Amino acid sequence: MHILLTNDDGVAAPGLQAARQALASLGRVTVLAPDRNWSASGHAKTLHRPLRVWDTRLLDGTPALATDGAPSDCVALVALGLLDEPVDLVVSGINPHANLGHDVTYSGTVTAAMEAVIAGLPGIAVSLDTPDDLSIPIDFDPAARVAASLARQIFDHGFPPGILLNVNVPHLSIESMSGVQITRQGIRVYRDALVRRDDPRQRPYYWIGGDTPTGVDEPGTDFWAVKGGFVSITPLQLDLTAREALPQLQGWDLHL
Ligand code: MN
C-alpha cells in the first residue's frame, strides 16, 4: 500500500512526523507537504504561478518532499502524476487543533482530503484537539495510532468513492479515551473579534483575533464526541446542496 501523507502546518510540523511513523507500519509512505503554514487557507488551487517540489527531511531525518504550494496542491501534484507510483490513500495531518463543524470549510487539513476525493482517492483528515494551555506538551502519538488503525480499516474493507473522513481525536492517552463515535458535522461557535491597531506610521492595520471557538454540544455531532473524550469520525462529501431548500426555491416566482 502506498500512502500520501500531507498536512497544512508545513513539512516541519511534529504532527506530520508522528503520522508518518505510525503509517509506516502499513506500507510505503510518501510525504509531500507545504514548506510553510497554510492553516485556515481553505481549499486552494495554485494556477497563477509555477509549483516547485524539492527533497527535504522531517525532524527525525526521514526523507520527504516539500512544495511552495498549498495542502490541496500537494494532493493534486501526486494525483496528476508527480510520483513514479500511484497512491492508494491520502492522509492529512495530524493538525494540532480540532477541525469541527464549520471549521472544515477553512481547514487546509480537511481540504487536502477533499482534494483526494476529487482525485478519486480515499482521504482521511486527522486533527488533535489540543488544550489552549501552551505549557501542556502535545502528544501526537495516540492520534497517530488512530490514523494508522483507520487506514488499515480502509485497506481491509475498501471505501466508497466521493467520501472523505474527518477525524478528530481528543488529547488523551488511548486508554483514557471513551471510544469511537461516528458523527455528523456539528456547529462551531466562533468568537472572532476584529482588532484594529496603528502601525508606526499611524496607518491602521487589522487582525482577526478573539477567543478559541467553541461549539454547540448536540448529541451525535463531532463537537459533542470530542468533548466527551471520543474519537470523532465524520464522513463528509463535497456535495453541499441544501436539499431541503430545493422545494421552497422551486416554489418561488422565478422567471426571466
Ligand atoms: Mn493546521
- pLDDT (0 to 100) of residue 98: 97
What's the 255 CA to ligand 1 centre distance in angstroms?
45
Say which CATH number the domain at 51 has.
Answer: 3.40.1210.10
Looking at the domain assignment, is residue 212 inside a domain? no
What's the 148 CA to ligand 1 centre distance in angstroms?
19
- pLDDT (0 to 100) of residue 59: 86
- pLDDT (0 to 100) of residue 63: 97
Q: Point out the residues of the chain with pLDDT beneath 50.
A: none
Asked if residue 148 lies in contact with residue 25, where contact means CB atoms within 8 angstroms, the answer is yes
Looking at the domain assignment, is residue 210 inside a domain? no
What's the 139 CA to ligand 1 centre distance in angstroms?
16
Range(s) of the domain holding residue 167: 2-187+217-250
Looking at the domain assignment, is residue 166 inside a domain? yes
What's the 93 CA to ligand 1 centre distance in angstroms?
8
What's the 249 CA to ligand 1 centre distance in angstroms?
37
What letter represents residue 161's amino acid?
P
Whose CA is closest to 4, among 105, 119, 97?
Answer: 119
- pLDDT (0 to 100) of residue 108: 98
CA distance 125 to 208: 25
The tally of domains found in the chain comes to 1
What's the 40 CA to ligand 1 centre distance in angstroms?
7
What's the 45 CA to ligand 1 centre distance in angstroms?
17
What letter represents residue 223's amino acid?
F
Cell numbers that stand for 76 in this block: 493534486
Looking at the domain assignment, is residue 209 inside a domain? no
Asked if residue 160 lies in contact with residue 127, where contact means CB atoms within 8 angstroms, the answer is no
Cell numbers that stand for 214 in this block: 467553541
The dihedral over CA atoms of 141, 146, 149, 152, expressed in degrees to the nearest 10, equals: -100
The dihedral over CA atoms of 78, 83, 85, 89, expressed in degrees to the nearest 10, equals: -30
CA distance 8 to 73: 11
Looking at the domain assignment, is residue 244 inside a domain? yes
Looking at the domain assignment, is residue 204 inside a domain? no
Looking at the domain assignment, is residue 203 inside a domain? no
Asked if residue 63 lies in contact with residue 20, where contact means CB atoms within 8 angstroms, the answer is no
Looking at the domain assignment, is residue 44 inside a domain? yes
Angle between helices 108-118 and 71-79 (to 10 degrees): 20
CA distance 116 to 158: 15
What letter represents residue 126's amino acid?
V
What's the 34 CA to ligand 1 centre distance in angstroms?
11
What's the 108 CA to ligand 1 centre distance in angstroms?
7
The SS3 assignment for 244 reads helix
pLDDT in tens, 147-182: 999 999 999 999 889 999 999 999 999 999 999 999
Q: Cα–chain-centroid distance for residue 228?
A: 21
